[in-house]
């Protein structure tokens, strides 16, 4: 059985300001750095062998803190990037026009062909996230990788493992530096292949963490 840990990056300046990031970037806040250290401490003794991360700054910074605790090097994986939000990247949520809010909502409300202009569909996101996860199957036997990615990206990945379409209504909350785990296994009582062991665990954090919209 292959166990793969999934971590969302720490809180960023734009998370706190309710600004859309997508594949744009902003630095971790002091709280985000603290969250990264806490999740690093949580997995320090789990036997992590590879820390693989989205190549955006907020994930790479989070990943480096985890890798330092686990004695690993950081491996960049662009397929783990967040959903591309097109023309809405860098925009403040509270300042969107009515049409822009419709575009944004289509990414989370179950619209099959939802796409922000110049951005990605959830189906496109799911394909590259699953490819990145499946690549872990090529690691040496005994590996235990940890992937650092983003809220929408990880939520989409976990939802599709559960059998939902990539564009399904978004119902999984993954807060900053939450920890999830998926396993690749064969079982008499579960579907063969990827299964979800845990999702969105924040028990290692001692302060409330944000999701994309809630404080």
Question: Residues with catalytic annotation?
Answer: 9, 82
Instruction: Give CA–CA dist 45/123, Å, rounded.
Output: 35
To the question of whether residue 22 is assigned a binding role by annotation, the answer is yes
To the question of whether residue 152 is assigned a binding role by annotation, the answer is yes
To the question of whether residue 9 is assigned a binding role by annotation, the answer is yes
Instruction: Give CA–CA dist 75/135, Å, rounded.
Output: 13
To the question of whether residue 114 is assigned a binding role by annotation, the answer is no
Task: Note every long-range contact of 159-166, with CB atoms under 8 Å and residues 24 or more positions apart, other chains counting.
Answer: 160/126, 160/129, 160/130, 161/194, 161/195, 161/196, 162/196, 165/112, 165/123, 166/121, 166/122, 166/123, 166/125, 166/126, 166/127
To the question of whether residue 12 is assigned a binding role by annotation, the answer is yes
To the question of whether residue 13 is assigned a binding role by annotation, the answer is yes
- CA 85 from chain centre, in angstroms, equals 15
| Positions at the binding site | 8-15, 21-22, 58, 60, 82-85, 151-152
| Positions at the binding site for substrate | 8-15, 21-22, 58, 60, 82-85, 151-152
């Amino acid at each position: 059985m292959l166990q793969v840990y999934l971590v969302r990056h720490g809180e960023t300046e734009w998370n706190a300001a309710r600004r859309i990031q997508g594949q744009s970037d902003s630095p971790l806040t002091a709280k985000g750095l603290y969250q990264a250290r806490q999740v690093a401490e949580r997995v320090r003794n789990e036997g992590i062998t590879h820390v693989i991360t989205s190549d955006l700054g907020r994930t790479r910074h989070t990943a480096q803190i985890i890798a330092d605790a686990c004695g690993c090097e950081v491996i960049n994986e662009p397929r783990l990037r967040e959903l591309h939000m097109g023309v809405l990247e860098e925009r403040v949520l509270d300042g969107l026009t009515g049409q822009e809010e419709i575009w944004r909502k289509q990414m989370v409300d179950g619209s099959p062909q939802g796409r922000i202009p110049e951005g990605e569909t959830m189906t496109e996101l799911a394909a590259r996230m699953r490819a990145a996860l499946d690549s872990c199957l090529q690691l040496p036997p005994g590996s235990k990788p940890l992937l650092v990615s983003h809220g929408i990206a990880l939520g989409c990945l976990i939802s599709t493992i559960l059998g939902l379409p990539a564009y399904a209504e978004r119902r999984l909350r993954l807060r900053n530096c939450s920890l999830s785990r998926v396993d690749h296994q064969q079982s008499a009582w579960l579907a063969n292949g990827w299964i979800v062991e845990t999702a969105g665990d924040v028990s290692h954090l001692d302060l409330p963490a944000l999701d994309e919209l809630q404080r």
